[in-house]
């Protein structure tokens, strides 16, 4: 049983590593202690996983609470939540709660999920902008048109929020629109 559990813990860790740079939590009633399991020790010592109960205890007195009270009144800790490096970045707290299960206490971890948020942008190849037929447009008219497009875009909001990427994307969209309108019509109108 011990060898099977150690193999299973190693297999789960390897499968979690194959997921890549994403948050992973390995949770279980493992029926063993870190002192008794070479694989559990390697999770933290060799592979850089964090024991959520140890992280939570570090905020208090430094000792994780026991989770199982069989024959021992002091209890032991056999229930775990391990967090990989990415998941550990979202760690807020860990609690051991008496949920009414005889002999066991529940382990709960609180993660700030917004820390894992990713923003993806879709890029497109710009349209060809014909410049051969551009008429004479005064600098004043061209500037008014460009300012109008910028004012109606999200450019200024992004700048105010310090969102440089969003500001750049808004600026590029405005520039493309301005150039396409100017190329298509030599009688520029401010909309």
pLDDT per residue as tens digits for the range 119-146: 777 777 766 777 666 666 677 877 787 7
Distances (CA, A) of 130 to 103, 133, 183, 184: 77, 7, 6, 8
Q: Which of 5-14, 27-36, 158-167 has the lowest mean pLDDT?
A: 158-167
Tokens of 35: 């002192």
CA dist 69 and 77 (Å) reads 9
Percent of the chain predicted with pLDDT > 70: 89
Return the pLDDT at 190: 45
């Amino acid at each position: 049983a011990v060898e099977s559990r150690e193999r299973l813990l190693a297999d789960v860790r390897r499968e979690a590593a194959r997921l890549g740079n994403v948050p992973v939590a390995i949770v279980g009633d493992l029926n063993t202690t870190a002192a008794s399991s070479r694989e559990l020790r390697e999770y933290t010592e060799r592979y850089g996983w964090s024991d959520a109960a140890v992280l939570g205890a570090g905020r208090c007195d430094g000792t994780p609470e026991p989770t199982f009270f069989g024959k021992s009144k002091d209890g032991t800790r056999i229930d775990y939540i391990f967090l990989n490096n990415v998941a550990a970045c979202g760690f807020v707290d860990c609690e051991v709660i008496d949920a009414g299960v005889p002999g066991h206490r529940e382990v709960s971890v609180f993660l700030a999920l917004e820390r894992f948020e990713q923003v993806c942008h879709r890029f497109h190849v710009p349209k060809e902008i014909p410049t051969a037929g551009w008429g004479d447009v005064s600098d004043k008219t061209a500037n008014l048109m460009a300012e109008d497009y910028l004012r109606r875009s999200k450019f200024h909001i992004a700048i105010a929020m310090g969102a440089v990427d969003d500001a750049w994307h808004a600026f590029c969209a405005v520039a493309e629109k301005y150039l396409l309108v100017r190329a298509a019509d030599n009688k520029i109108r401010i909309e």
